[in-house]
A and B are shown apart, each in its own frame.
Chain A
Amino acid sequence: MDIQYTGEHLLPGQIGRLSIIIAFVFALTACVAYFISATRDELSAASWKRVGRMAFFAHGAAILGIVASLFYIIFNHYFEYQYAWQHSSRALPTKYILSCFWEGQEGSFLLWSFWHVVLGVVLIFRSGKWEAPVLAVIAITQAFLGSMLLGIYVGDYKIGSNPFLLLRQTMDAPIFAQGNYLQFIEDGNGLNPLLQNYWMTIHPPTLFLGFAATIVPFAFVIASLWKKDYTGWVGQTLSWSIFASMVLGVGILMGGAWAYESLTFGGFWAWDPVENASLVPWLILLAGLHGLLIYKHTGRALRLTYGLFILTFLFILYSTFLTRSGILGDTSVHSFTDLGMSGQLLFFMLFFVLLSMAFLVKDWKKIPSIHEEEKLASREFWLFIGALILTLSALQITFTTSIPVWNKFLVLFRKIPGLSDFIQKDLAPPVDVAGHYNGIQVWIAIIIALLSAMVQFLRYKNSDTTKFFKALIIPAVIAVVLTVVIVIALEIYPPQYVLLLFASLFSIAANFNYLLVVLKGKLNVGGASVAHVGFGLILVGALIPNYTQRVISINNEVDFGNSFDEKNKRENILLRKGKPVLMHDYMVTYKADSVSGADNFYVVQYARINKETGDVREEFTLYPNAQINPKMGLIANPDTRHYFTKDIYTHVTSVPDKKASEEAEANFERDTVTIGDTFYLAKAYAVLESLVPNPQHENYQPDANDIAVGASIKLYTLDGKIFESTPIYLIRDRTASTIEDEVKELSVTLRVERILPEKEQIVIGYKQKDLDNDFIIMKAIVFPYINILWLGSLMMAFGMLISLVKRYRDNLRIFRS
């Protein structure tokens, strides 16, 4: 029998599902049409191009349709849809609704697709003769991305995951046997509290725009190889690769800002596989960008540039595979949930590997190159070295990030007889992950920083070395002085960090010098210098806070004894409500807690005191919050005191389980007493003084027919205070009830449970709140000079923007002439 379901909103889902199919079909159509157009001669090429265009616009409209339907469903809390149910809830503030959209894999694929559409439309109008081959590449990518949303079965194999499935289609629960099941599904699963952060509304769109933008240089490379036009693509690709570097870089740094603020990664960069997955393509993209500069100015390094832009895009696909296939499993808690699409993702990646290899290998010999040697004192030689080092840095990061992938291969090797003895255990990530990456990447950063300081002073083709070295003297002296000052002031002694500090400061000083002296302060041509200054600042801003960060929540007052080895960190401190604790320079007091929505806020007051005189120099209050999420446990959100030179974090790591203690409290203890008897409470002893008729109590409104008795009780505390309490026993309309009385000062509630007239006794019930149970465990960390990092990030982005504008104008000039 069919069940008639009521209350469902099926229309948006139908529109969405239909749009998915339309988008997929038109992506394929656009690809085919553009492909034909790119291979035909002038005349028929133009008409096929029109077909391609129309198909791409239709595809774009369909993508917008999917986005709109999905958004509509989430926004209106239509929990009959699995996606809305799983990723959102009613209580969620509107500003986070967008985050629900891209919390799931489907939504983030959609976001990526959406940006491809935007970029595709721009390219249709701006790329001139490159439209057909470039859009063919974008359209085929869109078909792949579109297939991730199809959710159809071919035989037993499921292709894609459809975001418009209904809850009752995805889940087998008895409730769905009822037609009106929706009435019982009150709320969705909700958004992961970690993602309820404003950075999470802007970081994913930016990062995905960066991801999407890497396709443009890639598509131009394919187009250039395809059409065997080795020069015409350079101008546009330069602009686009600067754009992609800027957006992807900003996206990555925004992720760092989120990680820093929510402290979920323990700082702004933790070398987590998910972070690495977007860093690697960015590094290769930067290498490609510099390769393209060599080619543009000297005609060299074309093969390298082609290879790097291809590699950038392939690594975007590889990181998509890593973060979405579930393969990272035990090594990262931050990857997407596995949707069983690993086969499809692998196919997506392999298709483009083979496609680009085919193009590259087929015409390898035809790619122009210069056989004559470059000079050692030329800009191109050192740019080449820099590009190579960036790439090798990326490969090292990939190698370690890919440990779970290597394990899959090891499984295969183990099947080979003879080898099985050697490879018994699966590889695991390094125990000290940050140490592992820093161990090599710090040296790479030193080289890159030194190169970025010096290379601008070299000219393309050949330069005067005396002039070159002379120009570097002043920046080098400045850098040495600053390094010495900082090293002494902040006690940074490990040699590689001292070197890195010097190299970064040298880069900052040299690029600043270049901007002022060589470019005479003309900012519009100084994009590279500004970006390099920014890069230097990022390195300094990463080094100093990372090296000098200190956990200050160490309680020095209490001696725990040597129960542990000296490595014992004791980074958490216990604060009882109202009891100040000395922590580093601060007297810290947990004042109060309050609840707002799902968040518990803890009011923590800091007073910086002069240890000798005890004077308070400065006072501030922080409100770290913790969401005690029924599904995920405690999600702590730190609160930070920002200073110009440092940040002080406060972060609740544990709170007593209020629910358990409340349950314990719910149990009244009881004593049977006669008048004059004493019974004992945790903080006082109590005497039943008398039983009073017609008692009075704020919670009791007397009625004429009531039979009411009050038990007059006196409570004596150990420090000599006396409190009174009169709980009431009441018979109204032949029903007995009791009116409790709470003595707030002692956190005790008293009640009369029964009256035993024949024995002249009453049963007194009392429950006592455990005052000691009101505490928080917290951790506080100081991050000095983190603002240098943010300043550097802004400057790098700004520098790239200047370059972008300049290159764009250059292109226009060429376009018009």
Chain B
Amino acid sequence: MKKTHIAALILIVISIGVIISMTSDFSSWETFATAQEAEGKEFHIVGELARKEDILYEPEKDPNYFAFYMTDKSGEERKVVFQGAKPQDFERSEEIVLTGKMEGEEFHASKILMKCPSKYINDELEVKAVAAEN
């Protein structure tokens, strides 16, 4: 065998090993309940804003405390706390993707990704408000 072949083989074996071991970094999509089972470990959770509950953001008291309730895919509703500013138009979000962990009864999000219906496409036609032509 040639040196290049040996070197290639070694590198490929190492990188396969590395790539496989790196899959331990991969997260999974969870619900509040399953995230609760591994409290303190970070996961991704998809859900919807629970609109009937209050959204708490009082920048005058603390610009880095933002809390709301989210309903996950299984229908469970939990309080979510985010240490940062409230994303503008949060109320209009259609779907929320959270990264974070359960701490007690609360979910502490480190990242919030909002999906707005209008983010890139808005299929609502805006029509000039004119009374019907006579």
Q: Is the CB of A431 within 8 A of B133?
A: no
In the bound assembly, the distance between CA atoms of A729 and B60 in angstroms comes to 39
Q: Is the CB of A653 within 8 A of B85?
A: yes
A454 to chain B, nearest CB (A): 16
Question: Which residues from chain B contact A568 at a C-beta distance below 8 Å?
Answer: 64, 83
Question: Which residues from chain B contact A403 at a C-beta distance below 8 Å?
Answer: 26
Neighbour of A337 across the interface among B30, B42, B121, CB < 8 A: B121
- 9-residue interface stretch from A2-10, A421-429, A664-672, A750-758: A421-429
Q: Is the CB of A429 within 8 A of B128?
A: no
* Contact status of A175 and B125, CB under 8 A, knowing A571-B64, A632-B116: yes
- Is A373 positioned at the interface, with any CB of B under 8 Å from its CB? yes
* Contact status of A171 and B123, CB under 8 A, knowing A427-B26, A572-B85: yes
Give per-residue flags for A378-392: 1 if the beta carbon is below 8 A from chain B beta carbons, else 0.
000100110011001
Q: Is the CB of B27 within 8 A of A376?
A: no
* Contact status of A772 and B59, CB under 8 A, knowing A376-B3, A632-B116: no
In the bound assembly, the distance between CA atoms of A569 and B62 in angstroms comes to 12
Q: Is the CB of A431 within 8 A of B18?
A: no
Q: Is the CB of B121 within 8 A of A86?
A: yes
Q: Is the CB of B27 within 8 A of A772?
A: no
Q: Restricting to A769-801, which residues have a CB under 8 Å from any CB of B? A: 772, 775, 777, 779
Question: Which residues from chain A contact B88 at a C-beta distance below 8 Å?
Answer: 628, 633-634, 654-655
Give per-residue flags for B51-72: 1 if the beta carbon is below 8 A from chain A beta carbons, else 0.
0000001011011110000000
Question: Which residues from chain A contact B22 at a C-beta distance below 8 Å?
Answer: 396, 399-400, 436, 439-440
- Is A563 positioned at the interface, with any CB of B under 8 Å from its CB? yes
Q: Is the CB of B7 within 8 A of A430?
A: no
Q: Is the CB of A425 within 8 A of B63?
A: no
In the bound assembly, the distance between CA atoms of A403 and B28 in angstroms comes to 10
Question: Which residues from chain B contact A376 at a C-beta distance below 8 Å?
Answer: 3
Q: Is the CB of B59 within 8 A of A569?
A: no
* Contact status of A440 and B18, CB under 8 A, knowing A428-B43, A571-B84: yes
Q: Is the CB of B28 within 8 A of A428?
A: yes
- Is A189 positioned at the interface, with any CB of B under 8 Å from its CB? yes
Neighbour of B64 across the interface among A171, A396, A572, CB < 8 A: A572
Q: Is the CB of B128 within 8 A of A185?
A: yes
Neighbour of A569 across the interface among B12, B18, B25, B64, CB < 8 A: B64
Q: Is the CB of B11 within 8 A of A192?
A: no
B32 to chain A, nearest CB (A): 14
Q: Is the CB of B15 within 8 A of A392?
A: yes
In the bound assembly, the distance between CA atoms of A574 and B126 in angstroms comes to 35
- Is B134 positioned at the interface, with any CB of A under 8 Å from its CB? no
Q: Is the CB of A427 within 8 A of B86?
A: no
* Contact status of A775 and B26, CB under 8 A, knowing A330-B46, A654-B86: no
Question: Which residues from chain A contact B90 at a C-beta distance below 8 Å?
Answer: 633
- Is A707 positioned at the interface, with any CB of B under 8 Å from its CB? no
Residue of A at shortest CB range from B14?
A392
B64 to chain A, nearest CB (A): 5
- Is B87 positioned at the interface, with any CB of A under 8 Å from its CB? yes
* Tally of contact residues, A, Cβ under 8 A: 66
Question: Which residues from chain B contact A389 at a C-beta distance below 8 Å?
Answer: 11
- Is A180 positioned at the interface, with any CB of B under 8 Å from its CB? yes
- Is A544 positioned at the interface, with any CB of B under 8 Å from its CB? no
Question: Which residues from chain B contact A742 at a C-beta distance below 8 Å?
Answer: none
* Contact status of A425 and B84, CB under 8 A, knowing A376-B3, A439-B22: no
In the bound assembly, the distance between CA atoms of A475 and B19 in angstroms comes to 34
- Is B74 positioned at the interface, with any CB of A under 8 Å from its CB? no
Q: Is the CB of B86 within 8 A of A428?
A: no
* Contact status of A425 and B29, CB under 8 A, knowing A570-B64, A654-B59: yes
- Is A564 positioned at the interface, with any CB of B under 8 Å from its CB? yes
Residue of A at shortest CB range from B64?
A570
Question: Which residues from chain B contact A171 at a C-beta distance below 8 Å?
Answer: 123, 125
In the bound assembly, the distance between CA atoms of A333 and B120 in angstroms comes to 10
Q: Is the CB of B3 within 8 A of A396?
A: no
Question: Which residues from chain B contact A439 at a C-beta distance below 8 Å?
Answer: 22, 25
Residue of A at shortest CB range from B132?
A178
A93 to chain B, nearest CB (A): 21
Question: Which residues from chain A contact B11 at a C-beta distance below 8 Å?
Answer: 385, 388-389, 392
- Is A593 positioned at the interface, with any CB of B under 8 Å from its CB? no
Give per-residue flags for A625-648: 1 if the beta carbon is below 8 A from chain B beta carbons, else 0.
000100111100000000000000
- Is B33 positioned at the interface, with any CB of A under 8 Å from its CB? no
Question: Which residues from chain A contact B4 at a C-beta distance below 8 Å?
Answer: 374, 381, 384
Q: Is the CB of B64 within 8 A of A429?
A: no
In the bound assembly, the distance between CA atoms of A403 and B23 in angstroms comes to 10
Residue of B at shortest CB range from A576?
B60
A660 to chain B, nearest CB (A): 11
A124 to chain B, nearest CB (A): 38
Q: Is the CB of A631 within 8 A of B118?
A: yes
Q: Is the CB of B128 within 8 A of A186?
A: yes
Q: Restricting to B78-134, which residues have a CB under 8 Å from any CB of A? A: 83-90, 92, 97, 99, 110, 113, 115-116, 118-123, 125-128, 130, 133
Q: Is the CB of A192 within 8 A of B120?
A: yes
Neighbour of A631 across the interface among B8, B29, B113, B122, CB < 8 A: B122
Q: Is the CB of A772 within 8 A of B60?
A: yes
In the bound assembly, the distance between CA atoms of A426 and B31 in angstroms comes to 12
Question: Which residues from chain B contact A399 at a C-beta distance below 8 Å?
Answer: 19, 22
In the bound assembly, the distance between CA atoms of A632 and B12 in angstroms comes to 46
- Is A573 positioned at the interface, with any CB of B under 8 Å from its CB? yes
Question: Which residues from chain A contact B83 at a C-beta distance below 8 Å?
Answer: 564, 568-570
Could you show 29 A-B contacts with beta carbons less than 8 Å apart? A171-B123, A175-B127, A185-B125, A186-B128, A330-B97, A337-B120, A384-B4, A385-B7, A388-B7, A396-B15, A400-B25, A403-B26, A425-B30, A426-B28, A428-B26, A428-B29, A428-B43, A431-B43, A431-B99, A432-B25, A439-B25, A571-B84, A628-B88, A632-B89, A632-B116, A633-B88, A654-B63, A654-B85, A779-B85
7 more contacts with CB within 8 A, not counting A330-B97, A431-B25, A572-B64, are A428-B44, A429-B26, A440-B18, A631-B122, A633-B90, A633-B92, A634-B87
Q: Report the 7 A-B pairs with minimum CB-CB distance, sorted nearest first.
A: A633-B89, A634-B88, A653-B85, A430-B25, A428-B27, A633-B88, A431-B42
